[in-house]
Amino acid sequence: MDMVIQKLIYIFFTVSLLSSVINYSPVCFAGLSIKEEDPYVVFERDRKKDQKKTQELTRNDVSEARQQKKKEAKLEELPPSCDTAKEFRQTHGELISHQLLDFPDRDVVKIAYEVTKGCDGAAERFKTILNLLIASGVDKKKSVEFGLHFSKRSDEQTTAFVLIFKGTFLEKYYDLDFKTALATSFKLALEARGNPEVLARDFRSILDFCVEHKGTDLPFKICAPYALELSMHSYLYDTKGLADSFKSLMEFFSLQKEADYTIAIHLKFAGRILRHGPKAVKNFEEQYAYGVSDAMKLNQKIALELAVKVAENTIGRDLK
């Protein structure tokens, strides 16, 4: 009877797995939706969010909101004051001293004024992005535009962009083209949830794994979009990120010799598990142990496939 049940389970998962492998394309890998994006499209999408927020608030709305805040808030809860004069001076000085920029004085003043809207630290964020992109060959006007955008973002988002962009393009470490590196950096820094620095660390850890296994059966061109989509789920793992869980899963899969799966299939399994949070990893481990125990007596391949499917149900359907 056990043999009949095991054969039925094997047929079910074999058909399911073959279907996913046969229909594989870079658009859908590791259970994640992957698509190539233009970096400027990513940037414009984030910028339009700001415009929409501004348009939704009329001057009267803003005034009423401020009055209401003053009535309800305690002194320590009021918004912090910004050293806008300092931010203006630093930005103005950077622009007029920059050898590669030749903007008219009127434009320099306008740019410096826009930076002051980012409050404290805005000038440094602007300078960081401006110099990084100009050194990378980006058009100076676009570099200024991107710099202004990040001047109004957090220090963490700016740091994340720099870490990812340097690692994927400037260092030439991952062999990514400029367009892919820029789009990936924008998307992770501006759109992902959670701590941007944790996202950057997870992204690079996954790419490191790809680099280490480059030349095997792992198609390297899918690594960047895979790492991007998977690291977008880092926020589920709090401040630790998912890199350690990813490495543990990949090591575990490699030890299951009887299953005889490729690294690409291992990545597929890891993606399907990790996107459902740390409890999914725990559910996978428990289910696999039960599958190969005397209670079920499944072989490694069937036990793995069943455990992955069980882990995918970690987040209730009504909550997804």
pLDDT in tens, 67-103: 666 565 554 566 778 999 999 999 999 999 887 678 8
Q: What are phi and psi of 316, to 5 degrees?
A: -55, 145
Q: Are 273 and 31 in contact (CB under 8 A)?
A: no
Task: Choose among 190, 210, 128, 201: nearest CA to 163.
Answer: 201
- Nearest-5° angle of CA 210, CA 214, CA 217? 100
Q: Which residues contact 296 (CB under 8 A, 6 or more apart)?
A: 290, 303
Task: Report pLDDT for 89.
Answer: 96
* pLDDT tens column, 310-319: 999 998 655 4
Pair of tokens at residue 199: 């996202």
Mean pLDDT of the chain: 80
Domain ranges for the chain, please list them: 82-152
80: DSSP letter? P
Read off the pLDDT of each residue in 11-40 and give the average, rounded to a whole number: 49
What is the pLDDT, as a whole number, of residue 319? Answer: 47
Specify the range with the lowest mean pLDDT, choosing from 8-22, 101-115, 236-250: 8-22
For residues 144 and 94, give the distance between their C-alpha atoms in angstroms, rounded to a whole number. 12
HSE of 314, CA atoms in CB hemisphere, 13 A:
21
As a whole-number percent, the residues of the chain with pLDDT over 90 amount to 42
Quickly count: other Cβ atoms within 10 Å of residue 109's Cβ: 15
| pLDDT tens per residue across span 156-203 | 899 989 988 887 776 655 566 778 788 888 888 888 888 888 888 898
What is the model's pLDDT at position 147?
95
Q: At what angle do helices 122-135 and 140-151 cross, to 10 degrees?
A: 150
* Unique residue bearing structure tokens 């701590």: 195
What span, in angstroms and rounded, lies between the C-alpha atoms of 214 and 208?
A: 10
User: Which range has highest mean pLDDT (6-20, 165-179, 292-306)?
Assistant: 292-306
This prediction's pTM: 0.71
Helices 84-97 and 122-135: angle between axes, nearest 10 degrees: 20
Angle, alpha carbons 31-36-40 (nearest 5°): 140
First to last CA, the chain: 37
Confidence (pLDDT) at 31: 47
Residue pair 229/34 in contact (Cβ under 8 Å)? The answer is yes
When mean pLDDT is compared over 25-29, 35-39, 98-102, the highest value belongs to 98-102
pLDDT at position 66, please? 62
**In this predicted structure, what is the pLDDT of residue 261?**
87
pLDDT of residue 133: 92
Q: What's 118's DSSP letter?
A: G
**Does pLDDT of 13 surpass 70?**
no
φ, ψ at 315 (rounded to 5°) = -90, 120
